Chain A
Amino acid sequence: MQHLEIQPQNIKLPEGSIEKQTTTLNLGPTHPATHGVFQNILEMDGERIVSAEQTVGYIHRAFEKLAERRPLYQITPLTDRLNYCSSPINNMGWHMTCEKLLRIQLPKRVDYMRIIIMELARITDHLICNSVVGVDAGAFTGFLYVMQYRELVYEIYEEICGARLTTNIGRIGGFERNFNNTVWTKLEKFLDEYPKALGELDGLLLRNRIFMERTIGAGPISADRALNYGFTGPNLRAAGVDYDVRVHTPYSSYEDFDFIIPTGKTGDCYDRFLVRDEEMKQSLSIIRQAYQKIQEFKGPEAEVFHADVPEYYLPKKEDVYTKMEALIWHFKIIMGEVEMPKGEVYHCVEGGNGELGFYLISDGGRTPYRLHFRRPCFIYYQAYSEITKGSMLSDAVITMSSLNLIAGEMDA
């Protein structure tokens, strides 16, 4: 210290300023380690976090307000942009909410097709989350390897709906088109190759000492605190509560499927990693079961891809071009002039990172009177300051990616 010209004891603070023991650090809103626009104002004592304060609203897009001005079918593209790692689940959840309001019963085959799409989306979501936990712990390689398999899933979406990320997949009452042969071959290819890739990711991270020591004990939350905050999904299961919407309030014929709910103990990053890892394997088994069930349909049943509801599901294009009746329905549905029942519905699905709920109030008009999205990320982020208090800065970064906080979902 002798060679320094200015010595700490000689520094004179301006008059009236208070000497502080801690440093204020802005983590975000555009920090490369936060994977999205999250701002955390951290009070740091060296490398330790004394307190953290979150800011929300950096990508607030007023979805709930926008939805009050849109007919039901136009709200689907909005739900794409909530949790964009698993947008098909959001789309399906929204369609199911509408179907609940409109009292539409779906054929079993459509339910199973939806389950395949939703479980594929869950796999991509967990895959990103888990590999990004690896990236934040310093292991970039696994992330690059598994991206190829997410690509396969995206190709399946592309074949069904024509887009990869913001899918807008499915319609109220079913799917926009039947799955073609390419979809099934690609699905088989995925089911075939994916377990190997997952094995590789496990081989790189699961029992690696560096990864284990970085994640064990990082960002833990007890089951009680998690329940108090309103945690759901993998983050709650990692804390030890075996709550899964798919089992407790089955939707889309999930009751026909056999799968287990993995649970952790301490709710730390390693538990969350393990739970997601196991859930991906369970999702694979669900997809296999659903694929088998779909193959069992014979005759005209094997071609069904939407419910028979001409009031809400668009007629075939050929009919629209040639038949008057179909054209009238087409205009009515697109203009949103079909009868909407009055009422309130809440429907929740097990989204990529927790219970994704839609609370829809209809006053009988062409648009919802009010729509609320229950976004799990928003709830996890409330707990972030409590989880990270007292931990190291590097643990805070890894905790954020392990909670699977997605900015698009946090701000609706």
Chain B
Amino acid sequence: MQSLTNRNKPVDRAPMNFWERLYLPEIFKGMIITLRHLFKRKATIQYPEQKREFSRVWRGLHVLNRDEEGRERCTACGLCALACPAEAITMEAAERELGEENLYREEKYAAKYEINMLRCIFCGLCEEACPKDAVYLSETVAPADYARKKFIYTKEDLLIPNPVTEPEAYAKAKGLEPNENRLTGKR
């Protein structure tokens, strides 16, 4: 076979020499490598007690966001459901009544918002599609459960705690310093 380029370099396929044929020297060489690893720092971590930190942009469990006054940001525009390649998101919109201004930020809100975590592939397209900073993927992983039904997360499961009434729970759920932009990871 003639060469197609001038960058061709045959690999070194030298036959075994005497020492390699003897088999033992190479085995000892390998043993030394493994023995050296015995004294190296271990690469594993003790998982449930010790946890590795996710990156700031980790695509984990979804969170429905609230604004600083504790009002739901979602306006049920449906872009996240449209952008979802796994078709995991369903929602129903409703109109805000008088007197509900402290609950919902805009005149329209999601009365029902469900994500099927068994369908979700955590691609992050919903977060990217959201024009209201209402849905984002947090730095946790979706927990395991026993029944399929429990993987359909409703709005109550997804909503972040209210920053006005439960500021501590909110800060814990957020896990972020304020004013951080999640998409760029910049403060």
Give CA–CA (A155, B57) in the complex, Å. 12
Interface 0/1 of B108-150, CB less than 8 Å to A: 0000000000000111110011011100010000000000000
Give CA–CA (A262, B13) in the complex, Å. 12
A161 and B121 form a contact (CB under 8 A): no
Mostly, the A contact residues are helix
Give CA–CA (A311, B155) in the complex, Å. 33
Give CA–CA (A259, B5) in the complex, Å. 12
Closest chain-A Cβ to B16's Cβ sits at a distance in Å of: 6
A159 and B13 form a contact (CB under 8 A): no
Q: Does B12 sit within 8 A of A, measured CB to CB?
A: yes
A177 and B184 form a contact (CB under 8 A): yes
A209 and B26 form a contact (CB under 8 A): yes
Mostly, the B contact residues are loop
Closest chain-B Cβ to A225's Cβ sits at a distance in Å of: 12
Identify which of A203, A274, A320 contacts B13 (C-beta below 8 A).
Answer: A274
Q: Which of A225-252 contact B (CB under 8 A)?
A: 240-244, 247-248
Tell whether A208 pairs with B27 under 8 Å between CB atoms, given A158-B55, A318-B181.
Answer: yes
A331 and B79 form a contact (CB under 8 A): yes
Interface 0/1 of A288-310, CB less than 8 Å to B: 00000000000000000000000
Tell whether A317 pairs with B133 under 8 Å between CB atoms, given A73-B125, A148-B43.
Answer: yes
Count how many chain B residues have C-beta atoms less than 8 Å from C-beta atoms of the other chain: 48
Chain A residues in 8 Å Cβ range of B122: 163, 166
How many residue pairs, one in A and one in B, have C-beta atoms under 8 Å apart? 144
A263 and B11 form a contact (CB under 8 A): yes
Tell whether A159 pairs with B55 under 8 Å between CB atoms, given A261-B9, A263-B8, A274-B11.
Answer: yes
Give CA–CA (A177, B182) in the complex, Å. 10
Closest to B183 in A: A317
A166 and B57 form a contact (CB under 8 A): no
Identify which of A141, A151, A242, A275 contacts B34 (C-beta below 8 A).
Answer: A141
B3 and A166 form a contact (CB under 8 A): no
Closest chain-B Cβ to A331's Cβ sits at a distance in Å of: 7
- Known contacts A168-B124, A207-B20, A334-B128; 10 additional CB pairs below 8 A are A73-B83, A77-B125, A145-B37, A163-B123, A209-B16, A260-B9, A264-B13, A278-B11, A318-B181, A334-B129
Chain A residues within CB distance 8 Å of chain B = 70, 73-78, 80, 141, 145, 148, 151, 155, 158-163, 166, 168, 176-178, 180, 182, 200, 203-204, 207-210, 212, 223, 240-244, 247-248, 259-265, 270-271, 274-275, 277-278, 314, 317-318, 320-321, 327, 330-331, 334-335
- The 9 tightest CB contacts between A and B, nearest first, are A274-B11, A162-B59, A242-B8, A74-B85, A162-B57, A77-B123, A209-B23, A148-B43, A168-B123
What are 16 A-B residue pairs whose CB atoms fall within 8 Å in the complex?
Answer: A74-B85, A80-B123, A158-B57, A159-B55, A162-B137, A168-B125, A209-B23, A241-B1, A260-B9, A261-B9, A271-B11, A274-B11, A314-B128, A320-B131, A334-B82, A335-B79
